[in-house]
Amino acid sequence: MTALAITIVATCVALLASVCLVLRIRLAVTPDSDNSQQILVERINAVLPQTQCGQCGYPGCRPYAEAIATGVAINRCPPGGADTITRLASLLEQRELPLDSRHGSETPRKVAFIREAECIGCTKCIQACPVDAIIGAPKRMHTVIERDCTGCDLCVAPCPVDCIDMLPAPATFQPLTWRPS
């Protein structure tokens, strides 16, 4: 009886092991983990505007680049607009699509501006900024480093006193866009 019980348990474990190993091997050999995929992701990422705004539904430009490489639509980037869609379409040899309005609309480049007299120094905008373009300290006035601001709007919603304006960027404005090395 004991031998029979051990056989049953061993058979169940062997069955589970075979199922898990087959799944693991199938997942590992599917081709999208190879180097060419990584190179493609880098090239897509270089086209994206690096605002890190999250409007596409992904946490930043690189995650969206990874998603595009796996087949997600190329028209979810409002800051990049039609120009980025055209460049992505030519890179990926896809048809150009109009910007998906569910993710926002294309607007001229903007820069955040803090009305410093009204700022209470709560640091919430500093925590929300994805590119560290806001400086300040608790209960001290904050300000925006204009050159680093990508105009992503993420600092506007957390501000409890609504003292952040999104102003149109000057025509000569050259943002210092972060690029991966």
Partner 1 sequence: MKEFYVVLVTISLVNCISLSRLTGPASWSGRPGQWRPSVSNPGAVTVFTVSMAALLVANTLFTAGTLTMTAMVTGLSMPPLLIVTLGFISTALMLLPLTTWIGRRYPQPGRRLRLLLPVAGAECAILTSLLILAHPDSGLGATLLWSLCAGAGLILMITIFGGLRLRMAVSDAPAAWRGLPQELVTAGILALALLSPVGAMI
In the list 57, 121, 170, 180, the residue contacting partner 1 (rule: CB under 8 A) is 57
> Does 33 contact partner 1 by CB under 8 A?
yes
- Give the nearer residue to partner 1 in terms of CB position, either 54 or 104: 54
> Does 174 contact partner 1 by CB under 8 A?
no
> Does 115 contact partner 1 by CB under 8 A?
no
> Does 161 contact partner 1 by CB under 8 A?
no
Long-range contacts (CB closer than 8 Å, 24 or more residues apart) made by 125-131? 125/155, 125/158, 125/159, 125/164, 127/158, 128/154, 128/155, 128/157, 128/158, 129/154, 129/155, 130/52, 130/53, 130/54, 130/60, 130/154, 131/51, 131/52, 131/178
Rounded distance, CA 172 to CA 17, Å?
63
> Does 54 contact partner 1 by CB under 8 A?
yes
Q: Which of 160, 80, 73 is nearest to 118 (CA)?
A: 160
Return the residues of window 117-156 that contact partner 1 according to CB under 8 A. 122, 124, 128, 130, 138, 154
Q: Which residues bind partner 1 (CB under 8 A)?
A: 1-2, 4-5, 8-9, 12-13, 16-17, 20-21, 23-24, 27-28, 30, 32-33, 52, 54, 57-60, 63, 66, 122, 124, 128, 130, 138, 154, 157-158
